[in-house]
């Protein structure tokens, strides 16, 4: 089994990875809730009295900007949008379609311009205000996003829930926890079949350490969306964090049976197996995952950690994998600790010391690295340095218990914030 300090260290890295995966899915407005385009409804039921020439010109401009976006000519698309917006009268369907085209490319500034014009000229159109709020949220203009939501007039229960959901996302970003919890929970309980409502409420529960609640939310999402990789990954992560490691392992194995190249599930499975002491299984899972294209560097780290536990002497392989992890994981103090163990095992003691010195520079509160560094200083007759380092380690150890808990929480919260990138 892993030592408590190893569990804390590995948990920090897994939480960071998993949180980033979730935020990538749930914090991007265009992919999370989806921009609504209801042009046929307005064209058929409420035609607007535009001149034929103006309408034809606007349609031509909108088609041209869509083509430019599809071809990656974003500057051209922006210029075409400016030309479109100079027209005195524009069919709202054209504005909505143009905004969606920009939003789907992540160009929320252009999307906001189109949606704002539509909302100003046609305040009765719910989608214009709602999509403007999504675009402003994508731009991190939270006050403007809330203002756009306040201007939207819901015509149905479904639209009321969408307003609550997006308001809850914005409130959560602003740190308004009570309001976010209320609005996200109402949206989900009113329509538990909506995957986005489930993912965001489950993510909120993970953020706030409400792991059993997150298990319930993601499990319910799975009943409606049994093939959703995000609902499955959320359930597995919540199971692990609530101490249900066997359940986590089963969920990950089910995910991988359907999506064998899904790197987050494989990384969590390898991690969970490692944490319960099943090192050979963990190594096999990690090794297979590294054969797929684009494996996450955390998987390299976990593979090295399991090989060290298995006392492997394949130093060339381990050094290559830890080098990959160090290059791709920012400030990876744990990677340098692992590298020091490899270097020490192969007799490169001076290199092992250098590795640990890097580890403590990256994370001055990394007690395990300080402890091993003191031992290696003694081993190489650098006793004065060893005394200083050991004193530093003792001071860290005295406050370690609370610090470990705080480190887990803060690492998860930082990673969630980082998902907005």
Percent of the chain with pLDDT over 90: 63
Who wins on pLDDT, 311 or 398? 311
Q: HSE on the CB side for 297, CA within 13 Å?
A: 16
pTM to 2 decimal places: 0.78
CA–CA gap between residue 225 and residue 221 (Å, rounded): 6
The answer to whether residues 59 and 94 touch, using CB atoms and an 8 Å cutoff, is yes
Token pair of 250 as six digits: 């089963």
Given a cut of 60, whether residue 34 has pLDDT beyond it is no
pLDDT band at 198 (very low <50, low <70, confident <90, very high): very high
Neighbours of 246 (CB within 10 A): 10
Give the mean pLDDT of 187-208.
Answer: 93
pLDDT band at 189 (very low <50, low <70, confident <90, very high): very high
Look at residues 168, 124, 161 and name the one whose alpha carbon lies nearest to residue 146: 168
Give residue 251's pLDDT: 96
CA–CA gap between residue 64 and residue 216 (Å, rounded): 47
Give the mean pLDDT of 110-136.
Answer: 95
Token pair of 263 as six digits: 């790197």
pLDDT digits (tens, 9 = 90+) for 306-333: 999 999 999 999 999 999 999 988 888 8
pLDDT band at 55 (very low <50, low <70, confident <90, very high): low
Neighbours of 88 (CB within 10 A): 7
Give residue 295's pLDDT: 80
pLDDT digits (tens, 9 = 90+) for 275-286: 889 999 999 999
Who wins on pLDDT, 31 or 322? 322
Q: Is 2 left (phi over 0), alpha (psi -120 to 50) or beta?
A: beta
The answer to whether residues 16 and 408 touch, using CB atoms and an 8 Å cutoff, is no
pLDDT digits (tens, 9 = 90+) for 231-281: 998 899 899 888 899 999 999 999 999 999 888 889 889 988 998 899 999
Token pair of 192 as six digits: 């538990």
Question: If DSSP codes are grouped into helix, strand and coil, which group holds residue 287?
Answer: helix
CA–CA gap between residue 75 and residue 32 (Å, rounded): 26
Q: Catalogue all structural domains in the chain, each as residue range(s) with its CATH number.
A: 330-421 (1.25.40.10)
What is the maximum span of the chain, computed from C-alpha positions, in angstroms? Answer: 89
Look at residues 171, 222, 153, 172 and name the one whose alpha carbon lies nearest to residue 193: 222
């Amino acid at each position: 089994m892993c030592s408590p300090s190893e569990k804390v260290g590995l948990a920090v890295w897994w939480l960071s990875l998993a949180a980033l995966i979730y935020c990538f899915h749930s914090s991007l407005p265009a992919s999370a809730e989806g921009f609504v385009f209801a042009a046929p409804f307005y064209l058929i039921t409420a035609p607007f009295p535009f001149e034929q020439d103006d309408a034809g010109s606007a349609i031509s401009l909108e088609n041209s900007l869509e083509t430019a976006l599809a071809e990656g000519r974003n500057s051209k698309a922006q210029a075409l949008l400016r030309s479109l917006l100079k027209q005195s009268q524009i069919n709202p369907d054209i504005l909505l379609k143009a905004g969606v085209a920009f939003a789907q490319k992540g160009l929320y500034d252009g999307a906001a311009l189109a949606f704002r014009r539509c909302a100003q000229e046609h305040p009765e159109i719910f989608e214009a205000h709602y999509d403007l709020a999504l675009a402003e949220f994508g731009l991190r203009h939270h006050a403007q996003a809330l203002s756009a939501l306040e201007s939207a007039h819901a015509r149905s229960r479904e639209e009321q829930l969408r307003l609550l959901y997006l308001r809850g996302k914005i409130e959560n970003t602003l740190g308004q926890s009570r309001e976010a919890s209320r609005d996200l929970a109402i949206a989900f309980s009113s329509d538990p079949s909506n995957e986005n409502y489930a993912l965001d409420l489950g993510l909120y529960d993970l953020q706030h350490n409400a792991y059993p609640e997150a298990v319930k939310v993601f499990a319910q999402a799975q009943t409606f969306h049994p093939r959703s990789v995000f609902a499955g990954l959320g359930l597995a992560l919540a199971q692990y964090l609530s101490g249900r490691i066997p359940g986590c392992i089963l969920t990950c194995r089910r995910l991988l049976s359907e999506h064998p190249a899904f790197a987050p599930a494989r990384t969590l499975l390898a991690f969970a197996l490692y944490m319960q002491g099943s090192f050979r299984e963990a190594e096999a899972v990690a090794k297979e995952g590294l054969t797929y294209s684009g494996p996450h560097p955390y998987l390299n780290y976990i593979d090295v950690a399991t090989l060290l536990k298995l006392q492997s002497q394949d130093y060339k392989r381990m050094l290559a994998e830890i080098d990959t992890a160090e290059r791709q994981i920012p400030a990876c103090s744990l990677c340098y600790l692992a590298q020091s163990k490899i270097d020490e095992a192969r007799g490169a003691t001076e290199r092992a010391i250098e590795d640990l010195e890097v580890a403590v520079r990256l994370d001055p509160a990394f007690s395990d690295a300080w402890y091993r560094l003191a031992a290696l200083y003694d081993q190489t007759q650098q006793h004065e340095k060893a005394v200083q380092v050991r004193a530093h380690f003792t001071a860290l150890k005295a406050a370690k218990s609370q610090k470990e808990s705080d480190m887990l929480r803060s690492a998860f919260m930082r990673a969630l914030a980082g998902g907005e990138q």
